[in-house]
Amino acid sequence: MSNYNVKIKKGTFYLSSKTDQGEGWTKQEFQNPQNPDETMVRYHKTLSVEGTLQSVTLSEDKFAGETAKILVKKDGDNYYLEVPIMDKGGSVVTTNQYFNSLVGPLEKLNKGDNITMFVNSKNEDKNGRLYRNIVVLDGNGSLIKSDFSFKDTPSWAKQEVKNAFGKVETKWDASETNDFYIKKFMDVVNNFDGGTATTSPKQEAKTPTATPQEAFEPTEEESEPKLPF
Number of domains making up the chain: 1
Query: Is 221 part of any domain?
Result: no
The whole-number pLDDT of residue 89 equals 72
Query: Is 13 part of any domain?
Result: yes
Q: How far apart are CA 206 and CA 90, in angstroms?
A: 10
The whole-number pLDDT of residue 136 equals 96
Crossing angle between the packed helical segments 97-106 and 175-191, to the nearest 10 degrees: 40
Residue 128 per-residue DSSP state: S
Query: Is 14 part of any domain?
Result: yes
- Taking alpha carbons only, the member of 74, 42, 80 closest to residue 61 is 80
Query: Is 223 part of any domain?
Result: no
Q: Which long-range contacts (CB under 8 A, 24 or more apart) does 12-16 make?
A: 12/46, 12/47, 12/118, 12/119, 12/121, 13/46, 13/47, 13/48, 13/49, 13/81, 13/117, 13/118, 13/119, 14/44, 14/45, 14/46, 14/47, 15/44, 15/45, 15/47, 16/42, 16/43, 16/44, 16/217
Judge whether 137 and 105 are in contact, CB under 8 Å. no
Please state, in angstroms and as integers, the Cα–Cα distance from residue 192 to each residue in 74, 115, 163, 187, following that order: 20, 16, 47, 8
The whole-number pLDDT of residue 194 equals 53
Query: Is 53 part of any domain?
Result: yes
Residue 150 per-residue DSSP state: G
C-alpha torsion angle, residues 212, 120, 178, 4 (rounded to 10): -40
Range of the domain at 126: 3-194
Query: Is 213 part of any domain?
Result: no
The whole-number pLDDT of residue 90 equals 77
Q: Which residues pair with 74 in a beta bridge?
A: 77
Q: How far apart are CA 35 and CA 64, in angstroms?
A: 22
Please state, in angstroms and as integers, the Cα–Cα distance from residue 105 to each residue in 65, 74, 131, 188, 192, following that order: 23, 20, 17, 10, 13
Burial class from Cβ neighbours inside 10 Å (0-12, 13-18, 19+) for residue 126 reads exposed
The whole-number pLDDT of residue 215 equals 35
The whole-number pLDDT of residue 212 equals 31
Query: Is 215 part of any domain?
Result: no
The whole-number pLDDT of residue 36 equals 87
Q: How many CB atoms lie within 10 A of CB 82?
A: 19
Judge whether 4 and 79 are in contact, CB under 8 Å. yes
Question: pLDDT by residue for the chain (229 residues), tens digit each?
Answer: 899 999 999 999 999 999 999 999 999 998 888 888 899 999 999 999 999 999 999 999 888 899 999 999 999 999 999 999 999 777 899 999 999 999 999 999 999 999 999 999 998 888 888 989 999 999 999 999 999 988 899 999 999 988 889 899 999 999 999 999 999 999 999 988 554 444 445 544 333 333 333 333 444 444 444 444 3
Query: Is 138 part of any domain?
Result: yes
